[in-house]
Amino acid sequence: MLALRDNHTLAQITAWVRTAVQNCREQILLSPEAFDAAPTRWIIDRVLSESKADDGQRLQPVINATGVILHTNLGRSPMSDPAIAAADRASRYTNVELNLVSGRRSKRGERLMTLLAQLTGAEDALVVNNCAAATVLVLQAIAAGREVIVSRGQLVEIGGGFRLPDVFRAAGVTLREVGTTNRTYLQDYEAAVNDQTGAVIRVHRSNFHLSGFVTEPTIDELVQMERPDSVAVIDDLGSGSMVDLTPYGLQEPNVLDSIRSGADLSLFSGDKLFGGPQAGILVGKKPWIEKLRRSPIMRAMRVDKLTLAALEATTEIHLSGNALTELPTLRMITTPDETVRQRCESLLLRINPSDSVEVVSCESQVGGGSIPGSSLPSHALRITGYPPHHLAHHMRSGPVAIQTRVSDEAVMIDLRTVAEQELTELANGINSAIRDTPALANRETAPE
Ligand SMILES: *Cc1c(COP(=O)(O)O)cnc(C)c1O
């Protein structure tokens, strides 16, 4: 119990003990003959297991050896050092609504909005809590009580139950579906525009692919479409790539292209390919952004000073032109496979015993609702000879948490998502997990 007190509050432990005592009583009353444990031992075991479950949920650093770059369970985009430092500096008192030169009150995030407009070529910008909030805000502020036209091929569900038709309903907008699952033409949109239309929205399919006979108008065509000025064209990009990632084999709609096409509003996440903190970024035409800014629900969606600071630093990195090397997310995407392989070789030298560990080629995923189906060539350490789930459990629950991938009866340590400076901790973690896991009795992979 004394060790428990190091990591848990007395209130937590008391609650676990009370529940365990209660459960123990119920069990004994239910079937005294089936309860063959010593009650005290039974209660202690329950409490220890509760405390372990609690440890597993306490937020802590995790080494991501899954090879999934935007891993939703691991907080999607890791932040760059400058963004971390900026959030740290802003954690105490900070001039979030004060211009230190004039001494006057300033608008929250004004500098960031200017930087975002510069970066994307848009007239104005706005930041909210996440891209889901951006979607709700746009629909509500621009088209509540009216119709918004969307292709049947884009009525998506983003992870975690964010379903577009439900979001429309919640925002008080009438969904006007056009086209079919695989084919929607510009004429379908044109035919649907009437005096009730508030907007046309294009939604990036993000987490799935359509292939075969597929047609849909480009954002340029939607912008060019015949429509009243009061009908906004909204582009929900989701991942919001700022840089062309096609040389790395990835096809994602580009924010700059979206703005260049003349879309009235383009929305994207701050913590997908933008590589910053969780946020929803809206860029576009000034009158539309102003309308959003004045919406009564804007206040409920605004971000805190930590997000503002981290996003400002991230945006400055994009503006500096060094995003591919300075933002961890983009660095991991663009790291050559050969560099990952060398990283694996150097890690292998530190693994002990290494007879059931080998360097293999594998595929990493971008993940996080980005770029479905496309993967990046990568390398991993493949550990056999131990029950893989048992070994993976030891890695997760060691002093430094390591999340791995179990595949084909082996634990895979994909180093595309591991930084050089994490290798020492990773090696120590693997070594102690191997030490703690009994080897499989019938080793198929006998040493050569
Ligand atoms: C990911 C995504 C969202 C939701 O973004 P969050 O930042 O997770 O809230 C909305 N729309 C599209 C197209 C997306 O890909």
**Are 147 and 196 in contact, with CB atoms under 8 Å apart?**
yes
Please indicate, yes or no, whether residues 146 and 284 belong to a single structural domain of this protein.
yes
Q: Tell me the best of 77, 158, 303 to mutate to test the pocket of ligand 1, counting ligand atoms within 8 Å of each CB and taking the most.
A: 158
Q: What is the DSSP letter of 175?
A: E
pLDDT recorded at residue 373:
66
pLDDT of residue 448: 41
Last residue of a domain, one of 294, 326, 358: 326
What residue has token string 């390591």?
402
Q: Is the minimum distance from the CB of 131 to ligand 1 under 6 angstroms?
A: yes
pLDDT on residue 447: 47
For ligand 1, say whether the CB of 270 is within 6 Å of any of its atoms. no
**Given the structure tokens 């230190």, which residue do they identify?**
100
Same domain, 85 and 197: yes
Same domain, 66 and 185: no
CA of 287 to the centre of ligand 1 (A): 24
pLDDT of res. 66: 98
Kindly state if the Cβ of 206 falls inside 6 Å of ligand 1. Answer: yes
The last residue of one of the domains, among 303, 326, 349, is 326
Ligand 1 binding pocket includes 384 (Cβ within 6 Å): no
Residue 158 near ligand 1, beta carbon < 6 Å: yes
Span from the CA of 219 to the centroid of ligand 1 (angstroms): 18
Residue with CA nearest ligand 1 atom 5 = 131
**Stated pTM of the model:** 0.94
Is the shortest distance between the CB of 369 and ligand 1 below 6 Å?
yes
Q: Do 229 and 290 fall into the same domain?
A: yes
Closest-CA residue, ligand 1 atom 11, reads 238
For residues 346 and 210, membership in a common domain is answered with no
Structural domain that includes position 288: 81-326
Residue given tokens 């991938």 in the structure block: 405
> In the prediction, which pLDDT does 249 show?
86
Q: What pLDDT, on a 0 to 100 scale, did the predictor assign at position 207?
A: 84
pLDDT tens per residue, the chain (448 residues)?
A: 568 889 899 999 999 999 999 999 999 999 888 888 899 999 999 999 999 999 999 999 999 999 999 999 999 999 999 999 999 999 999 999 999 999 999 999 999 999 999 999 999 999 999 999 999 999 999 999 999 999 999 999 987 788 999 999 999 999 999 999 999 999 999 999 999 999 999 999 988 888 899 999 999 999 999 999 999 999 999 998 999 999 998 889 999 999 999 999 999 999 999 999 999 999 999 999 999 999 999 999 999 999 999 999 999 999 999 999 999 999 999 999 999 999 999 999 999 988 999 999 999 999 886 666 679 999 999 999 999 999 999 999 999 999 999 999 999 999 999 999 999 999 999 999 999 999 998 655 544 4
Residue 63, strand partner residues: 402
Q: Does one domain contain both 311 and 273? A: yes
Return the structure tokens found at 291.
Answer: 């309308």
Tell me if 147 CB under 6 Å of ligand 1.
Answer: no
Query: 115 and 238, same structural domain?
Result: yes
Is the CB of residue 269 below 6 angstroms from any atom belonging to ligand 1? yes
Distance, CA of 94 to CA of 107 (rounded, Å): 13
**Three-class DSSP category at 270:** coil
Statement to judge: residues 337 and 247 lie in one domain: no
Q: Are residues 71 and 93 in the same domain?
A: no
Residue 220 sits in the same domain as residue 282: yes
Q: Are 200 and 186 in contact (CB under 8 A)?
A: no
Residues in the chain: 448
Q: Which ligand 1 atom is at minimum distance from the Cα of 133?
A: 9
pLDDT of residue 446: 46
Instruction: Please classify residue 143 by burial: count the beta carbons closer than 10 Å to its beta carbon, then call 0-12 exposed, 13-18 middle and 19+ buried.
Output: buried
For atom 1 of ligand 1, the residue with the nearest CA is 238
Q: How far is the CA of 224 from the centre of ligand 1 (A)?
A: 25
370 lines ligand 1 (CB under 6 A): no
Q: Are residues 307 and 401 in the same domain?
A: no
CA of 55 relative to ligand 1 center, distance in Å = 30
Domain termination site, one of 326, 353, 378: 326
**Residue 67: which of 435, 398, 381, 308 has the closest Cα?**
381
CA distance 163 to 157: 4
CATH of the domain at 171: 3.40.640.10
Determine if ligand 1 sits within 6 Å of the CB of residue 398: no
Are 339 and 309 part of one and the same domain?
Answer: no
Q: How far is the CA of 252 from the centre of ligand 1 (A)?
A: 13
pLDDT of residue 330: 97
User: Does ligand 1 come within 6 angstroms of the Cβ of 258?
Assistant: no
Q: Is 277 in the pocket of ligand 1 (CB under 6 A)?
A: no
Secondary structure class of 166 (helix, strand, coil):
helix
CATH number at residue 344: 3.90.1150.180
Q: How far is CA 366 from the centre of its chain?
A: 10
Domains: count for the chain: 3
* Residue among 72, 73, 131, 271 whose CB has most ligand 1 atoms within 8 A, to mutate: 131
